[in-house]
Amino acid sequence: MPIIRPLILTLYLLPLSSAWAQYELPGTDIWMLHIKDNQVTQVIPAVQRPGYDNQPAFSNDGQWLYYTQGDLADDELGYTDIWRVNLTTGAYNQVTSTPISEFSPLPLPNAPGVSVVRVQTDGSQELWSIFIDSERPDQRIISAEPVGYHAWLDTDQLALFVLGNPEQGQTNRLELWHTSTDSGQRLADNIGRGLQTDRNGELFYVQNPSKIMHLQPGKEPRPVIGLYENGQDFGLGPNHSLWHGAGSKVYRYAPGDEHWQLMVDLQQFGLHGITRVMVNPAGDQVAVVINE
C-alpha cells in the first residue's frame, strides 16, 4: 500500500495559445510517486503552494525537477517563470526572472541548463536556451514560431508542437527541426501536446483523438495505445514504459501489455484532477500534476 507523508517540496499547465501570458492561471501542485519493483511505494508532495506550479521535467541526472511557476499580477493576468527543486535536499530556486513569460522547461542535451518557450512582448512564442549557473547569455535556439512544446531527439534534432491557427483551419502540428541548419519539416497534423523521446532518438507523441504514436528514425509512425478521457499527456519511462493519469488514477503501460495497468488511485489521499505526468531517467520517480 502506498504511504503518504509530508516533505519539503511543490508543481502544472493550462490551455495553450499564442497569448500564453494572458490567462488566469489555475491552481496546481506537483506530487511525487516513488516506484520500486513496478509498485508505487510512496506518494509525496513535491511543489505545493497556492498558485500555478506545472510542467515538471527532471534533469538528465535526476537530481533536479524543473517546473513552470506562475502567479496572477495586479491586472489579474498570469505570468510565468522557471523554477527548480533539488530532489535530494528539497531546496528550490528561481531559474528565470523576466517581465515576460517562460514555460515548458526541458534539460538541454549538451550543456548545463534548460530549453524553454519564451513569450516575447509581441506575443510570439520562441524556443530559447537558458544556461544555469553560467555567465553565458540566453540564446534563441531556432526560428520556429509559435512553439508550444518541444522534445530533444539528440543534440541537434528537436520535435516541436507548433500551434496552428483555428481561424485559418490549421491544427496544431508536429515538426522536426535541426538546430545546426535552423530548418524543419512537418511530420503530422492535429497532434496533442504530449511529446516524449528516449535516448535513441525515438519519439512518442499524441495523435488526436488521444492516441499515443511511436516514431522510430526512418520508419512510419505506429499507434501504441489510446489515452483515457481524451487525454493529451503521458510520461515515458525506461524500456518504453508509458505512464498516464486520468481523474485520480495513475496508469502504466509496458510493451506487450494489452491495456493500461492501474498503479495507484490518488483519491485515497484526497487528490483528484491529474493533468500531467513525467518520469525520471531512472524510472523510480514519477511527477504528477494535480489540480488544487
- Nearest 5°: the CA angle 70, 75, 79 is 20
CATH superfamily, domain 3-285, is TolB, C-terminal domain (2.120.10.30)
Per-residue pLDDT tens over the stretch 82-125: 999 999 999 999 999 998 999 999 999 988 899 999 999 999 99
Q: Are 222 and 213 in contact (CB under 8 A)?
A: yes
pLDDT class for 133, splitting at 50, 70, 90? confident
| Pairwise CA distance, residues 121 & 21, whole Å | 10
Cell numbers describing residue 140: 534563441
What's residue 220's pLDDT?
95
Give this prediction's pTM: 0.90
The answer on pLDDT for 2 being more than 90 is no
Distances (CA, A) of 124 to 121, 145, 203, 248, 274: 7, 7, 26, 35, 29
Cβ partners under 8 Å of residue 26, min gap 6 = 12, 14, 52, 291, 292
Q: What is the DSSP string of 206-245?
A: EETTTEEEEE-TTS--EEEEE-GGG----EE-GGG-EEEE
Number of Cβ within 10 Å of residue 214's Cβ equals 19
Q: Are 94 and 114 in contact (CB under 8 A)?
A: no
Per-residue pLDDT tens over the stretch 257-284: 999 999 999 999 999 999 999 999 999 9
